[in-house]
């Protein structure tokens, strides 16, 4: 009888061991869902976000940034809130943490979905203050590593100060009007420079030539001592700048970055000078991951890395990997108290789950593109040049 029992017990033991190993392997896997605008009016940023997310997956393993095996899964969030929420709910079926989405309207509905599903959501682009209010109202699942609207305004205010500008003209992008107006309000409260105008151009899908019409108007209302603040990070901003110059516009252009922060783009369209902000630049090294992000992105994808939506989506995936503790509640506590390394700097979060931009270890960068090279204007400790007026 004992001879029959022993093999059975051994089989049970082996079965338990195999099951345990299987469960352990499952526990050691972290799936990060990434919502990107692969289609729609924000699709140029979507490509950069998607590429950056996959590069983050590679770097997490390469640099030993997580004790978990990290897998990135991407879903198309399109350009509407409905599309973004649909992508979130689909990812929530398999992902442990979800990052991304592009516009503020999209991020708001994704934040609601995060609370509904109990999934941690890290906002890597949108700046709306509604997200911080949601956390105040009890939505503990939402964190943002991107700037809030106030910090966008802080950087624009910094540029007006270091350029000693006496007046500015604000040119916004209608699909991002909520963000643009929030940014404008934030720096208007901090600057003594006079606002001489405010205008918004439509997307080329809504009106193919609206940017050109508005560019001609702005050119007629600005001069050499006017800072033209451009709130469109997309490709239409390039067309606006060209049209503005062709119409005789002489102002100093300060861009929120994006496409107009890429040297390759600026060389291709023959823009002689532009000032712009970014979350990080290759020659403004914040951590050992800064150069790794820019160099490896260039090597892997054959183009320059995006220095806002791309780098912050990359960092959001890295933050998720470093913070994950096996379940949402433990990870939330870790995010609330810990520090996390990214290409843009070292992240800590406020009580409202907003990344603490503006401290010594996490600052935005203001730069100028001049004669084919990039010079740093801010922060002071990285400055390589002063603002060059036309």
Instruction: For residue 132, give the CATH number of its domain.
Output: 3.40.50.2300
Q: Per-residue pLDDT for 57 more than 90?
A: yes
Assigned domain for 1 exists: no
Residues in the chain: 390
CA distance 134 to 115: 10
Containing structural domain, residue 94: 29-147+285-347
Kindly state whether residues 101 and 38 are assigned to the same domain: yes
Q: Could you give the residue ranges of the DSSP H alpha helices within 302-386?
A: 309-323, 328-337
List all residues 6 or more positions away from 268 whose beta carbon is below 8 Å from its beta carbon.
none
Kindly state whether residues 246 and 319 are assigned to the same domain: no
Confidence tier at 262 by pLDDT (50, 70, 90): confident
Q: End-to-end CA distance of the chain, in Å?
A: 97
Assigned domain for 237 exists: yes
Kindly state whether residues 232 and 217 are assigned to the same domain: yes
Kindly state whether residues 103 and 170 are assigned to the same domain: no
Assigned domain for 342 exists: yes
Assigned domain for 299 exists: yes
Confidence tier at 75 by pLDDT (50, 70, 90): very high
- 291-308, pLDDT tens digit by residue? 999 999 999 999 889 999
Q: Per-residue pLDDT for 287 more than 70?
A: yes
The pLDDT of residue 371: 83
**233: Cα separation from own chain's centroid:** 11
Cβ atoms of 73 and 93 within 8 Å: the answer is no
Rounded to two decimals, the pTM is 0.86
Kindly state whether residues 100 and 76 are assigned to the same domain: yes
Kindly state whether residues 67 and 123 are assigned to the same domain: yes
- 125-138, pLDDT tens digit by residue? 999 999 999 999 99
Looking at the 3D structure of the chain, how many domains does it have?
2
- 169-191, pLDDT tens digit by residue? 999 999 889 889 989 998 998 89
Strands 365-370 and 273-278, bridge-based pairing: antiparallel
């Amino acid at each position: 009888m004992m001879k029959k029992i022993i093999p059975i017990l051994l089989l049970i033991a082996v079965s338990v061991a195999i099951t345990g190993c299987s469960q352990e392997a499952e526990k050691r896997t972290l799936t990060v869902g990434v919502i990107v605008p692969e289609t729609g009016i924000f699709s140029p940023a979507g490509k950069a976000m998607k590429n950056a997310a996959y590069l983050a997956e590679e770097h997490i393993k390469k640099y030993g940034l997580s004790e978990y095996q990290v897998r990135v899964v991407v879903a198309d969030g399109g350009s509407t809130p409905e599309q973004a929420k649909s992508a979130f709910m689909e990812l929530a079926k398999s992902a442990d943490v979800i990052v991304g989405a592009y516009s503020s309207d999209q991020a708001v509905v994704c934040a609601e979905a995060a609370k509904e599903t109990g999934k941690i959501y890290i906002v890597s682009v949108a700046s709306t203050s509604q997200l911080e209010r949601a956390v105040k109202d009890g939505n503990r699942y939402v964190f943002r590593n991107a700037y809030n609207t106030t910090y966008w305004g802080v950087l624009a205010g910094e540029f007006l100060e270091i350029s000693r500008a006496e007046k500015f003209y604000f040119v916004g992008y209608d699909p991002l009007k909520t963000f643009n107006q929030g940014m404008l309000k934030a720096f208007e409260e901090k600057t003594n420079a006079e606002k001489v105008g405010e205008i918004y151009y439509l997307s080329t899908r809504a009106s193919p030539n609206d940017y050109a019409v508005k560019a001609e108007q702005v050119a007629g209302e600005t001069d050499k001592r006017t800072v033209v603040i451009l709130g469109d990070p997309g490709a239409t901003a390039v067309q606006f700048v060209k049209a503005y110059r062709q119409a005789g516009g002489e102002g100093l252009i300060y861009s929120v970055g994006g496409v107009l922060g890429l040297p390759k783009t600026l060389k291709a369209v023959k823009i002689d000078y532009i000032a712009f902000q970014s979350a990080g630049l290759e020659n403004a090294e914040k951590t050992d991951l800064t150069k790794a992000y820019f160099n490896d992105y260039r090597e892997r994808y054959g183009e320059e890395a995006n220095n806002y939506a791309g780098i912050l989506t990359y960092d959001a995936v890295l933050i998720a990997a470093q913070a994950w503790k096996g379940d949402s509640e433990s990870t939330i506590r870790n995010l609330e108290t810990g520090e996390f390394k990214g290409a843009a700097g070292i992240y800590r979060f406020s009580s409202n789950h907003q990344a603490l931009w503006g401290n010594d270890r996490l600052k935005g960068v203001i730069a100028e593109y001049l004669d084919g090279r990039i010079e740093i204007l801010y922060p002071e400790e990285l400055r390589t040049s002063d603002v060059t007026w036309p």
